[in-house]
């Protein structure tokens, strides 16, 4: 089956402009043209999924282009492509750790508001967080002082 740029854009949840930009950057060298127009086929989707993945994990376009160029060179670049993927995996791992860190802060703030709403006032949680200067994630009193199954507040 054949797909237009608009159809591919919709499937990838990007704009047609993005697909055209990727085309301009040379990220679709394997996709055929009919009368100068890109026509995507079913067999193009593994490639499209990989490019979409690389974009969504914040790989810079320059690096994606490097990956594309290496792929075009064939088996002699397997190790180089593998290395690019390993580097991106490390980047993802770092992003995931950062997100876990920030999720803890969001969880704290969510609990803060839940307690304040339940009490009808922020006065009930005025000692949250600890007022000392730190960039450590705020923790819930239950996490800090949970003793004998009884949590404060």
What would the pLDDT profile of 92-108 be if each residue is shown by its tens digit?
999 999 999 999 989 98
SS (H, E, C) 27-58: CCCCCEEECCEEEEEHHHHHHHHHHHHHHHCC
Mean pLDDT across the chain, nearest whole number?
A: 86
Q: Count CA atoms closer than 13 A to 135's CA, side-chain side.
A: 2
Residue 148 pLDDT exceeds 50: no
What is the pLDDT confidence band of residue 151, given thresholds at 50, 70 and 90?
very low
| 103's tokens | 């999720």
What would the pLDDT profile of 26-85 be if each residue is shown by its tens digit?
999 888 888 888 899 999 999 999 999 999 999 999 999 999 999 999 999 999 999 999
What pLDDT score was predicted for residue 66? 96
Cα 14 vs. chain centroid, distance in angstroms?
15
- Residue whose entry in the numeric block shows the structure tokens 């697909």: 19
Q: Are strands 37-41 and 2-3 parallel, antiparallel or unpaired?
A: antiparallel
Q: How many residues does the chain have?
A: 153
Average pLDDT over residues 18-27: 92
């Amino acid at each position: 089956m054949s797909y237009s740029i608009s159809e591919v854009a919709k499937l990838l949840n990007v704009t047609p402009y993005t697909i055209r930009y990727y085309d301009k950057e040379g990220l679709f060298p394997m996709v055929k043209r009919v009368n100068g127009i890109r026509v995507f086929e079913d067999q193009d989707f593994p490639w499209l999924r990989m490019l979409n993945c690389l974009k969504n994990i914040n790989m810079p376009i320059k690096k994606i282009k490097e990956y594309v160029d290496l792929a075009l060179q064939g088996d002699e670049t397997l190790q180089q492509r593998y290395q690019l993927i390993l580097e991106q995996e490390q980047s993802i791992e770092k992003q995931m750790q950062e997100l876990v860190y920030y999720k803890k802060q969001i969880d704290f703030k969510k609990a803060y508001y839940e307690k304040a709403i339940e009490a009808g006032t922020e006065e009930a949680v005025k000692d949250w967080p600890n007022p000392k200067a730190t960039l450590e994630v705020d923790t819930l009193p239950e996490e800090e002082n949970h003793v004998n199954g009884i949590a404060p507040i």
